[in-house]
Amino acid sequence: MPRPLIAPSILAADFGRLREEVRAVAEAGADWIHLDVMDGHFVPNVSFGPAVIGALRAATDRVFDCHLMIEPVDPHLAAFAKAGADRITVHAEATRHLDRTLQAIGALGRKAGVALNPATPIDAVEHVLERVDLVLVMTVNPGFGGQSFIPAMLEKVRRLKARLAGSGVLIQVDGGINPDTAHAVVQAGADALVAGSAIFGAEDYAKAIRALRPGVVV
């Protein structure tokens, strides 16, 4: 089975020690650092914005993978790029002109991703695939860490994998990923796994990251 990229979500980290937490997961084997930005409008929770991301940038040279759960999103893209985002993923549901938003991310020199809420069909991204290098399949309804994986998303990942075959576009999954669900999503076709509580809730981050890589004996 292919080795998935692991992107710990700092939403589940100790916010009083964020720099140390970012350094610790980077040293523990994280491929990307996943940054969940929430606005209390597109999603029912508020997290952090570009100032916090900018403050963390010096802590590691790992890829900063920004997941923007904000609406509107276009007015804020430049601020996230400037703060140090390497990848910017926006929700298909949060922008009226998705194609324009994805072009704007590319024009800022960042890698563009598009996220789909559980109820959004994969058809929503059919005509923008040339503009992205990642599709994020939400495996919970966005807004909170620690929720349960929605099993119906496995079929969505499978269908998307078939659609993306040979395109080079990555499939990322986010929400309820733990050692029990990781195997099934990777088998279905996920290339990158986001995990918050399964990593930051563990004593040993390196062991928790290894436990998400199917086939690896911890």
User: What's the closest the beta carbon of residue 12 comes to Zn ion, in angstroms?
Assistant: 11
Stretch that binds ligand DX5, among 53-61, 80-88, 157-165, 171-179 (CB under 6 A): 171-179
SS3 38: strand
Q: Which of residues 5-24 bind Zn ion (CB under 5 A)?
A: none
Of 146, 143, 174, 147, nearest to 40 by C-alpha is 143
Q: Tell me the residue number closest to ligand DX5, measured at CB.
A: 196
Question: At CA 114, angle to CA 39 and CA 158, rounded to 5?
Answer: 125
Q: Which of the following is catalytic: 36, 39, 65, 191?
A: 36
Residue 88: its H or E element = strand 87-91
Nearer to Zn ion, 149 or 162 (CB): 149
Q: Which of the following is catalytic: 31, 39, 65, 174?
A: 174
Q: How far apart are CA 178 and CA 182, in angstroms?
A: 6
Contact in structure between 189 and 154 (CB atoms under 8 Å):
no
Residue 99: its H or E element = helix 98-107
Decide if residue 198 touches ligand DX5 (CB under 6 A).
yes
Active site residue 174: yes
Stretch that binds Zn ion, among 54-62, 158-166, 172-180, 204-212 (CB under 5 A): 172-180
The binding site for ligand DX5 (CB under 6 A) comprises 9, 11-12, 34, 36, 67, 140, 142-143, 145-147, 174-177, 194-198
Residues known to be catalytic: 36, 174
